[in-house]
């Protein structure tokens, strides 16, 4: 499973700010390859239903599962995933590469996402040129508002990459 959002930041980076660990949800990307498996991953969906039944008494649920076409990400993102250091018996977890995490954070254009991007750019040096290449290659959901927010976020992200302390 590939996590993104604040859960990926909290679990995928040493020294992540304490606030990242306060996230109340876990977002996951479901790859086209995984979704098209012959057995259709029935065990996963049954486990999700069972987990939701168990969590429902506390008002919680697990539903933040996105097909890769529903997030801003580069087409070859799966080849660059980073394994998370979690010791889980039946689940291997990953996060997207840092540049792809930056892209996923550009869908809303809010201040919290820009702070998360600032954190990511502080963890790994990504040049403005590399970011521009990622912007050009990014697969953006065919939703007008998301496309507009992605375009509007680009100069802000490039500014952060040029001067991350600002």
pTM of the model: 0.83
Exposure class string for 132-152: b at 16+ Cβ within 10 A, else e: eebbeebebbeeeebeebbee
- Which run of H or E residues covers position 95? strand 94-95
52-105: per-residue pLDDT in tens?
777 677 666 666 788 889 999 999 999 999 999 888 777 788 999 999 999 999
- 2 forms beta bridges with 29, 94
Q: Which one is predicted more confidently, 105 or 41?
A: 105
Can you tell me the distance from the alpha carbon of 81 to that of 39, in angstroms, rounded to the nearest whole number? 24
Q: Give the pLDDT of residue 41.
A: 66
Can you tell me the distance from the alpha carbon of 9 to that of 56, in angstroms, rounded to the nearest whole number? 26
With a cut of 60, say whether residue 164 has pLDDT above it.
Answer: no
59 CB burial (10 A radius; 0-12, 13-18, 19+): exposed
User: Residue 15, by phi and psi: left (phi above 0), alpha (psi -120 to 50) or beta?
Assistant: left
């Amino acid at each position: 499973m590939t996590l993104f959002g604040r859960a990926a930041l909290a679990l995928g980076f040493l020294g992540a700010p304490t606030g990242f660990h306060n996230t109340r949800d876990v977002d996951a990307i479901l790859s086209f390859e995984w979704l098209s498996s012959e057995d259709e991953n029935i065990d996963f969906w049954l486990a999700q239903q069972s987990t939701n039944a168990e969590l429902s008494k506390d008002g919680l649920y697990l539903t933040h599962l996105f097909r890769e076409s529903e997030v801003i990400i580069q087409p070859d993102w799966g080849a660059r995933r980073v394994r998370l250091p979690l010791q889980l018996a039946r689940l291997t977890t990953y996060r997207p590469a840092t540049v792809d995490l930056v892209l996923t954070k550009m869908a809303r254009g809010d201040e919290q996402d820009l702070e998360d991007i600032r954190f990511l750019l502080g963890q790994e040096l990504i040049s403005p040129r590399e970011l521009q290449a990622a912007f050009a290659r990014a697969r953006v959901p065919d939703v007008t508002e998301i496309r507009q927010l992605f375009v509007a976020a680009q100069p802000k992200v490039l500014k952060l990459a040029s001067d991350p302390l600002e």
